[in-house]
Amino acid sequence: MPENWDLEADIVVIGFGAAGVAASVTGCELGADVVILEKAPEGREGGNTRVAGQGYLNTSDAGQAATYLKALCGPYTVPAAMVDVWAAEMCRNNDWLAAMGGDPQEHQHPPVGIEFPELPGSDCVHKFHDGPTYGYSYTWKRFESLVKKRPIRVLYETPGRELIQDGATRAILGVRAERDSKPVSVKARKAVVLTCGGFENNQDMIRNYLPGMPYCYTSGSPYNEGDGVSMAMAVGADLWHMNNFAGPSMALKVPEFDTTFSMQALHFSKEMPGGMIVVGPDGRRFTDEKFKTRHGKIPKNGKWMPLVTPCPMYMIFDREMFATGPLYDMNPSHSWNPVVEQYQRSTDNSAELAKGWITAAETLDELAEALGLDPETLTETVARWNQGAGKGWDPDFGRELMLAPFGEGPFYAVELSPSMLNTQGGPRRNEKAQVVRPDGTPIPRLYSAGELGSIYSYLYQGTGNIGECLAFGRIAAREAVAQAAWE
């Protein structure tokens, strides 16, 4: 217990993304004094929500939604009470947003439709945005405005570091945060709500929890470093869904940037002329490079499993593709690097070649040597691809898109890393958004919402994350407000 509290509020919300918005706005509407602690500096807040495709799920029917969620979870079941609360609350997202001052509009949300139409209940899926189009932070800008126009204090560059817990009752009394490298003690008279996102940028947690991942990077916020997982564990929380994540895909990660760049040539809906394959460290292909995964999952023996990404992976391509135009996605509608860092790509790939992001060589043998691959195997892999592609078929993985054989050298390579949108795991919560211990009992005065310990245990329906942020952010705040202040 600190000798003095530096500041206090009824509800302390840790993290200013969609879940933090739903919790703080709901709390404020119910008359609570709310403070948000945010790790990022002002202008870089908003987490993954800010750079997402901006769609959120509003299901049309609670019964169907419950059926669909149960089917998405498959053998990784979640308690019926959680499913029912999720299903009921996900139908109310539009009503809530409209009542708070937003403008929900149904959109097709092009990257994902009904993601698993073959599963029962999938007709309940309806995707909404607050803005005229996909991406461009529109929905986030609305969310942020809902906080800004209310008396909710936001402290930027103030990460939560530790939860302050009563040694006897185990109730959470406040948060030890940090500002200008100094500790700040924040008293939470009623409750703390953890909404600080996942562990996308914590390589130790990635190695510990994500299946088959020696490393993985995100295309989202660099500030989500698993702090909520550590803070919750330190006060006795159970964890769940730690091995589930929205990924992997394959993308470019360079030392100059914390997060990944997507590659146009790998995108299922984008055609770039020229020969292109991806090989693993053995110089062989391991997948259909243009396959549209379902948030990283691919079908295997009748089941959905994460795409296997043998690291390091190399995208190998020919002169025609290099000369066609930028290899990086020029559409800046979503992801951290285009939206926040606003990296200016060269239109002819020359700057990226000069930086060493692209490797060039006159022959395949030289390229293989530069990459540390076996030249004979790489040459054989390309020859095999050329043989099939020349006749319009993929000799190994049934790829149907961009089946061009390789032309003349020079040849090029880009090292690819596994990339993800977000993790789903974190402290386990119950139907009241209370964070619970391994025995299922709640840790008093501690709530959570959003992708930190999300409900998605296995398959994921796109737009479900932001939808869940809104649903459980509201639940957490309602429950927190109902608490009596602890002094």
Which chain residues interact with ligand FAD by CB under 6 A?
14-20, 37-40, 45-49, 51-56, 159-160, 195-197, 219-221, 223-224, 227, 334-335, 421-422, 450-452, 463-467, 469
Q: Which is nearer to ligand FAD, 18 or 87 (CB)?
A: 18
Ranges assigned E (strand) in 301-441 = 303-306, 313-317, 359-361, 411-420, 426-427, 434-436
Alpha helices in 158-226 (DSSP H): 203-209
Q: Which is nearer to ligand FAD, 55 or 296 (CB)?
A: 55
Q: Which is nearer to ligand FAD, 270 or 284 (CB)?
A: 270
CB of 71 to ligand FAD, least distance (A): 19
Q: Which is nearer to ligand FAD, 102 or 464 (CB)?
A: 464
Cα–Cα dist 346/262, whole Å? 15
Cα–Cα dist 278/307, whole Å? 13
Cα–Cα dist 106/129, whole Å? 6
Cα–Cα dist 351/139, whole Å? 33
Are 137 and 340 within 8 A, CB to CB? no
CB of 273 to ligand FAD, least distance (A): 27
Ranges assigned E (strand) in 232-371 = 239-240, 249-251, 276-279, 297-300, 303-306, 313-317, 359-361
CB of 136 to ligand FAD, least distance (A): 12
Please give the distance of CA 405 from its chain centroid, rounded to a whole number: 35
CB of 183 to ligand FAD, least distance (A): 13
CB of 105 to ligand FAD, least distance (A): 14
Are 433 and 468 within 8 A, CB to CB? no
CB of 178 to ligand FAD, least distance (A): 9
Q: Which is nearer to ligand FAD, 47 or 442 (CB)?
A: 47
Q: Which is nearer to ligand FAD, 16 or 96 (CB)?
A: 16
CB of 353 to ligand FAD, least distance (A): 26
Ranges assigned E (strand) in 24-165 = 34-37, 56-57, 105-106, 127-129, 153-155, 160-165
Cα–Cα dist 437/439, whole Å? 5
Q: Which of 251, 354, 383, 356 is nearest to 312 (CA)?
A: 251
CB of 359 to ligand FAD, least distance (A): 27
Cα–Cα dist 324/319, whole Å? 9
Are 68 and 124 within 8 A, CB to CB? yes
Q: Which is nearer to ligand FAD, 179 or 284 (CB)?
A: 179
Are 328 and 263 within 8 A, CB to CB? yes
Cα–Cα dist 168/352, whole Å? 58
CB of 49 to ligand FAD, least distance (A): 3
| Cα distances (Å, whole numbers) of residue 354 to 13, 313, 342, 358 | 44, 21, 19, 8
Ranges assigned E (strand) in 296-384 = 297-300, 303-306, 313-317, 359-361
CB of 266 to ligand FAD, least distance (A): 15
CB of 341 to ligand FAD, least distance (A): 13
Q: Which is nearer to ligand FAD, 53 or 306 (CB)?
A: 53
Cα–Cα dist 129/221, whole Å? 20
Tokens of 326: 């930028």
